[in-house]
A and B are shown apart, each in its own frame.
Chain A
Amino acid sequence: MVNVTADTGKSQEKTINMSPWAIARRKFLRNKLAMISSFFLLTVIIISFLAPYITTADISKVNISQMSLEPSGEHWLGTDKSGRDIFTRILYGGRVSLLVGMSCTALVILFGTIVGAIAGFYGGFVDSALMRFTDFVLNFPFLVFVIVIGAIFQGQIDGLTILIAVISLLSWGGVARIVRSKILAEKENEYILAAVSIGCKPSKVIIKHLLPNVLSTIIVQATILFAGLIVAESGLSYLGYGVPQTIPSWGNMLSASQESDVLANKPWIWMPPAIILTVTILSINFIGEGLKDAFNPKSNR
């Protein structure tokens, strides 16, 4: 870990009477890298979602008289080959990329948790049936199937919805496995046995007692997934199987680099989305590291 701070002794004393969540929060807040990353990510998210209020340029309007302009005062990052302002498209593109990333993460976590929790809690036949199914889904090469399924629905239903659905449907397996194993371990605890023996409904046991205890794992998983799914979206869009071309996304903007002229001579068209994408992923990774660290009772930083 790069971000070692050396104030271990003192903080440990203070944390004795704190709840685990408070400890985690405290640790996270002290993690400089994670905090900077959170701040950056938050800024990107806010700016992206406020894009319509920040910039007035039209994102889809092609402007023949302003094609491929270098960065200038009027166009901070220049214009692309259709005369559209790159800065504006970065903002709108971020909105789409982050939206896809978030929606997919939410869906994946939701589905993975449900399957994992049910399998882990009930065990036996339910468990083996659900896990067989999970294995089945996990055995599909992700990219291959997203492309094939995407090709089926391309142009038929709203492209963005389809993309989110397809990515989510193929990605929940890992979460389900992790949640299941956590639940399996957790349910052996006496308080769960007690809850079950006094006649708590299984749904209540899962939601009230089990899930809060695996929440930290889920949160860490969600950050890792968030980064991975943004990459998946942009990679697919780069290949032409992702977000429909009419909608700007970071991946779609990057696909301009497939033209040699753009790649070699007009780096202002492809570098901004490439850099912002990488930095965003980087910051999400740092946040993920920070969270993992914060939730880990053994780490004393």
Chain B
Amino acid sequence: MLKYTIRRLIGMIPMLLLISFVVFLLAKAMPGDSLSGEIDPLNTNPQYIEEMREKLGYNDPLPVQYFNWVSGFLQGDFGKSTRYKVPVSTLLAERLPNTIFLGVTSLVITYILAFAMGIFAGRRPYTIGDNIIGGLNYLGLAIPSFIAGVFAIYFFSFNLGWIPYAGSVEVGLERGTFEYYVSRVHHVLMPAIVLGLLGTASYTQFLRNDIIENSRKDFVRTARAKGTPTSKIYNVHIMRNSIIPLITFLGFDIATLISGAIITETIFTYPGIGQLFLESVGNRDYPTLMVITMMLSTLTLVGNLVADILYGVVDPRIRLD
């Protein structure tokens, strides 16, 4: 297992290098640069813009620019955001915790909901409760997250006033106080649910079907025959078998959450990486754009790796090396 993991990690290096190349070329191919919007005759002048282009190295030959970027990157120098004028790493340090918090909350909610609903439905297949959950599931699978987000804001924020419609925390609260953390959770709840919607629906469905299938298996029949209480059969025997495959999804979740965060953060004005990414595209903030793209690609790679490894851990029949 360790050997396999190491081999996979090493295998990621050329992949990342290739991706960095693509990312760089794409960023350079975008029309305009961070200065092309600076047209304010009373604030700046064309000479300044030309000078800055020179200073920022936009006029260097492409291979030189690429080399500078990659070598900086390897030394942990991610460059300086052209819009915020701070090192990109600082910018990420500000936003990343928010996105991680959102992602983790979303995962927790997803798993809790999926377990509750999946087990409920799985134990009582073809009852009204199961059908309701099934219906909700189909809806959850079909409704695009941005539509869910818009509806959530419309109903829960505007009409009912239950949840905040923007931000990651109430302004004016002392960092570290109890209210501060309550407010953060309050703010993250709705975006997290929306972000985890698709996952919740598919896991619920998976778990339900798996439980039903397992309950028809021989070991359950044996347990029943032995007189094991039904609840114990479900909670111990069946659950153990049904949870295992679910765990392997964790790796894929990482990749899904990344893309999802871009849309969800935008809808809920939640200051995280996704929002920063869209901003950097709009502002042609190349250093930020490239770093975030690299980061998200790396995470996707890692996510796939985690999925594969977990798969091997859970199912010893799959030989990884």
Say yes or no: A285-B277 contact (C-beta < 8 A), given A136-B15, A139-B304. no
Q: Mark B129-163, 1 if CB is under 8 A from A, else 0.
A: 00100110011011111110011011000100000
Contact residues in B for A142 (Cβ distance below 8 Å): 259
List residues of A (217-240) whose CB comes within 8 Å of B's CBs: 227, 231, 234-235, 238-239
Say yes or no: A254-B19 contact (C-beta < 8 A), given A144-B277, A263-B158, A267-B154. no
Query: Does A281 contact B263, Cβ atoms closer than 8 Å?
Result: no
Mark the stretch among B24-32, B58-66, B101-109, B310-318 that contacts chain A: B24-32
Query: Does A139 contact B144, Cβ atoms closer than 8 Å?
Result: no
A247 in the interface (beta carbon within 8 A): no
Q: Complex Cα distance A239/B301, Å?
A: 25
Q: What 6 A-B pairs are tightest by C-beta distance, nearest first?
A: A282-B142, A143-B259, A281-B142, A141-B296, A231-B144, A274-B147
- Shortest CB-to-CB span from B29 to chain A, Å, is 5
Chain A, Cβ-Cβ closest to B284: A151
Query: Does B146 contact A4, Cβ atoms closer than 8 Å?
Result: no
Interface residue from B30, B126, B150, B259 paired with A254 (Cβ < 8 Å): B150
- Shortest CB-to-CB span from B132 to chain A, Å, is 10
Q: Complex Cα distance A140/B26, Å?
A: 13
B91 in the interface (beta carbon within 8 A): no
A194 in the interface (beta carbon within 8 A): no
Say yes or no: A263-B143 contact (C-beta < 8 A), given A144-B277, A152-B31. no
B193 in the interface (beta carbon within 8 A): no
Query: Does A151 contact B263, Cβ atoms closer than 8 Å?
Result: no
Query: Does B278 contact A239, Cβ atoms closer than 8 Å?
Result: yes
Interface residue from A143, A152, A279, A286 paired with B262 (Cβ < 8 Å): A143
A278 in the interface (beta carbon within 8 A): yes
Query: Does A151 contact B297, Cβ atoms closer than 8 Å?
Result: no
Could you pull out 7 A-B pairs where Cβ atoms are within 8 angstroms? A140-B300, A147-B262, A235-B144, A239-B262, A239-B263, A270-B150, A277-B144
Q: Complex Cα distance A247/B158, Å?
A: 30
Q: Mark B266-302, 1 if CB is under 8 A from A, else 0.
A: 1000000000011001000000010011001101110
Extra A-B contacts (15), CB below 8 Å, given A140-B22, A274-B150: A136-B19, A143-B263, A144-B277, A144-B296, A151-B281, A152-B26, A235-B263, A254-B146, A254-B150, A263-B154, A264-B158, A277-B147, A278-B147, A279-B142, A282-B139
Chain A interface: which size bin? 35 or more
B18 in the interface (beta carbon within 8 A): yes
- Shortest CB-to-CB span from B57 to chain A, Å, is 20
Interface residue from B15, B30, B138, B263 paired with A148 (Cβ < 8 Å): B30
Contact residues in A for B220 (Cβ distance below 8 Å): none
Q: Complex Cα distance A149/B25, Å?
A: 10
Contact residues in B for A156 (Cβ distance below 8 Å): 31
Q: Complex Cα distance A196/B262, Å?
A: 49
A257 in the interface (beta carbon within 8 A): yes
Interface residue from A139, A154, A267, A270 paired with B301 (Cβ < 8 Å): A139
Q: Mark B1-39, 1 if CB is under 8 A from A, else 0.
A: 000000000000001001100100011011100000000
Contact residues in A for B49 (Cβ distance below 8 Å): none
Chain A, Cβ-Cβ closest to B141: A285
Query: Does A235 contact B146, Cβ atoms closer than 8 Å?
Result: yes
Query: Does B19 contact A278, Cβ atoms closer than 8 Å?
Result: no
- Shortest CB-to-CB span from B151 to chain A, Å, is 7
Chain B, Cβ-Cβ closest to A234: B144
Contact residues in B for A227 (Cβ distance below 8 Å): 142
Q: Complex Cα distance A4/B31, Å?
A: 55
Contact residues in A for B301 (Cβ distance below 8 Å): 139
Q: Mark A159-199, 1 if CB is under 8 A from B, else 0.
A: 00000000000000000000000000000000000000000
- Shortest CB-to-CB span from B295 to chain A, Å, is 10
Contact residues in B for A144 (Cβ distance below 8 Å): 258-259, 262, 277, 292-293, 296-297
B189 in the interface (beta carbon within 8 A): no
Query: Does A238 contact B146, Cβ atoms closer than 8 Å?
Result: yes
Query: Does B154 contact A264, Cβ atoms closer than 8 Å?
Result: yes
Query: Does B300 contact A148, Cβ atoms closer than 8 Å?
Result: no
Contact residues in A for B292 (Cβ distance below 8 Å): 144
A16 in the interface (beta carbon within 8 A): no
Say yes or no: A136-B143 contact (C-beta < 8 A), given A2-B135, A143-B263, A148-B26. no
Contact residues in A for B138 (Cβ distance below 8 Å): 2, 282, 285-286
Q: Complex Cα distance A274/B154, Å?
A: 13
Query: Does B278 contact A281, Cβ atoms closer than 8 Å?
Result: no
Query: Does A148 contact B147, Cβ atoms closer than 8 Å?
Result: no
Contact residues in A for B277 (Cβ distance below 8 Å): 144, 147
B255 in the interface (beta carbon within 8 A): yes
Q: Complex Cα distance A135/B301, Å?
A: 9
- Shortest CB-to-CB span from A262 to chain B, Å, is 10
Contact residues in A for B29 (Cβ distance below 8 Å): 152
Q: Complex Cα distance A267/B297, Å?
A: 37
Contact residues in A for B30 (Cβ distance below 8 Å): 148, 151-152
